[in-house]
Structure 1
Amino acid sequence: MLTEQRYQIILNEIDRKSLVYVSELVKDLDTSESTIRRDLNFLHKQGKLKKVHGGATALDKFINTKDDLLSTRESLNIDEKLEIAKYAANLIKENDFVYIDAGTTTDLMIEFINEKEAVYITNGINQAKKLINKGLKTYILGGEIKESTEAIIGVEAINTLKRYNFNKGFFGTNGISKDRGYTTPDISEALVKQEALRRTREAYIMADNSKFDEISCVTFGQLEDATIITTIVKDNTYKEFIEIIEVAKK
């Protein structure tokens, strides 16, 4: 295949999906990883796409490719997050097997958890500390620690999740889109979220209003995969796709 043909196929895939992975392109184009990386470098320099860890994204102003630092995110929309956190905590019942995702809203939720007869598993370092301090039975996933979010990620975390079946799970997200679902900037963190979501019977996305119509570069779930807990929804067309709990109306 000619180089220009590869470029066009890569750009077509970017246009169609907004995100491509090196591993997928190697398989689809039947070429080496070094060739694909060279192609992506060239197209990035030409201003045709944006390189990210493990792949490339479209040049879309609505696509976020980086996580804010934890300290920055903790101060954003705090009143909304507290309302969401209180509501979510009350959903946990006796004997529940609960997954708690790393994130600022899930972190706030722990302050309001009163159910001591449930079991909690998390990939968040801060979440684990708070759960233990409340005397709750807690497990934490093993794996690599992502500095900016203090989340545990990687193959070891994913393999551990495959052993579990959660009846409830609470997740954060960087973006919610009718077309792209639930998204986050980091591929490794997205893969952990995706696996945990798959293992959860009742999944809840905890998101303040700023997350709607935002897209980060990696999708970890579709809208129908979870119930959204938020304060109030400004765009009611979202309700055509998924159940949404608006805590400001409760």
Structure 2
Amino acid sequence: MSEQQNLLAEQRRALIVDEVRRRGGVRVNELTRRLGVSDMTVRRDLDALARQGVLEKVHGGAVPVVEASTHEPGFEAKSGLELSAKEDIARTAASLVAPGSALALSGGTTTYALARHLLDVPDLTVVTNSVRVADVFHAAQSGGERRAGAATVVLTGGVRTPSDSLVGPVADQAIGSLHFDVLFLGVHGLSPDAGLSTPNLAEAETNRRLVQSARRVVVVADHTKWGTVGLSSFATLEQVDTWVTDGGLPTEVRSEITERVQRLLVVGEYEPGEDPGADN
């Protein structure tokens, strides 16, 4: 399958997921008309999305998956969702990073995408509890002499979660003794009442330590995370300096968010030279 065909499939599936979540269910014949593809193509898309656990196939269509607040999808399951949005968010977030900064990157598929965009920013110190994020920097620096300006990367210890984050007392102790210029934080969900939340109790405490150790908190999360609530809250919306998200965030909720979050940064809707985390 060509790269263009893969991209089209990704875009179709993102639209299908949005439609299912927005309407509470869709029928195959509705999707074939809207997307302009065959019945068989839609059914293949639904099969793929059902395998990823983001919707449930029913006779003639699909409905949302009703997940327990303790359900924690694995890294691979999440990595196939909202790929274009994550890349746009990662690219925008990377443009906010000044050379020589001390950064923390939490676990998650969007911070993983961000790590790749940080490889060319010189003289960074990166602390992360994400095995995947650390691997990005390690792969870039392996196989030869360390290049000038390459990032110094510190991987915390801890117990590995399904999303390949390291959590627990070892991670908490390491993070608690450090101080970061900026924390880039991936989240399971954000909501007005629950704030930032995760289905993993140990990860909630580790994320809490990350937030406490950072001078500035930047959440990197696509629009589908709004309204999702995990088992444990670890920060309020008011503790977020900037939320970098994509244009799929409904217009009607943006004003509600900006009353709580200091800055809402929607990719494509700001000037690249602007620093949305700077003081007014």
Deviation at 1:159, TM superposition (A): 0.6
Give the counterpart letter for 2:115 in structure 1: I
Report 1:83-162 matches (<5 A). 83-113=88-118, 114-135=120-141, 136-146=151-161, 148-162=162-176
Tell me whether 1:75 sits opposite 2:80 in the alignment.
yes
CA distance in 1, matches of 2:93, 2:72: 24
**What code does the residue aligned with 1:215 have?**
V
Structure 1: which 5+ runs fail to align?
A: 1-60
> Displacement, 1:62?
7.5
Aligned-residue offset at 1:99: 0.2
Provide TM-score, normalisation by structure 2: 0.65
Q: Identify the structure with the greater strand proportion.
A: 1
Q: CA deviation at 1:238?
A: 1.1
Alignment partner of 1:213: what SS? Answer: coil
Q: Which runs of 5+ in 2 are unaligned?
A: 1-65, 142-150, 271-280
Q: Which residue of 2 aligns with 1:22?
A: none
Tell me the SS of whatever aligns to 2:126. strand
Structure 1 segments of 4+ aligned residues over 3 angstroms from their partners: none
Which of 191, 203, 219 lines up with 1:177 in the alignment? Answer: 191
Kindly indicate whether structure 1 or structure 2 has the higher relative contact order, using CA contacts under 8 Å at least 6 residues apart: 1
Deviation for aligned residue 1:162:
1.1
Query: Within 1, Cα distance between the matches of 2:152 and 2:213?
Result: 19
1:66 aligns with 2:71: yes
Which amino acid letter does the alignment assign opposite residue 125 of structure 2?
V
| CA distance in 1 between partners of 2:175 and 2:212 (Å) | 10
Superposed counterparts of 1:226-237, under 5 Å = 226=240, 227-232=242-247, 233-234=249-250, 235-236=253-254, 237=256
Question: 2:181 corresponds to which residue?
Answer: 167
TM-score (norm 1): 0.73
Q: Using the alignment, how far apart are the partners of 1:182 and 1:240 within structure 2?
A: 16
Name the CA shift for 1:63/1:240 in 2 (closer, same or farther; >3 Å).
farther
Q: Secondary structure at the match of 1:166?
A: coil
Name the counterpart of 1:238.
Answer: 257
Aligned residues: 189
Cα offset for 1:64? 2.4
Find the counterpart in structure 2 of residue 221 from structure 1.
235
Distance 1:225 1:105 in 2: 20
Q: Does 1:188 align with 2:208?
A: no
Tell me the SS of whatever aligns to 2:112.
helix
| Structure 1 range deviating more: 223-232 or 191-200 | 223-232
Q: How far 1:116 moved relative to its partner? A: 2.1
Contact 1:63–1:214 under 8 Å retained in 2: no
CA distance in 2, matches of 1:203, 1:97: 13
Post-superposition shift, 1:74? 0.1
TM-superposed deviation, 1:249: 1.8
- Distance in 2 (alpha carbons) for counterparts of 1:75 and 1:198: 31
Cα 1:155–1:93 change in 2 (3 A) is same
Q: Give the Cα–Cα distance (whole angstroms) in 2 for the partners of residues 170 and 249 of structure 1.
A: 20
Amino acid in structure 2 at the alignment position of 1:124 = S
Q: Which amino acid aligns with 1:247?
A: V
Q: Deviations over 1:6-28 (max 9, x none)?
A: xxxxxxxxxxxxxxxxxxxxxxx
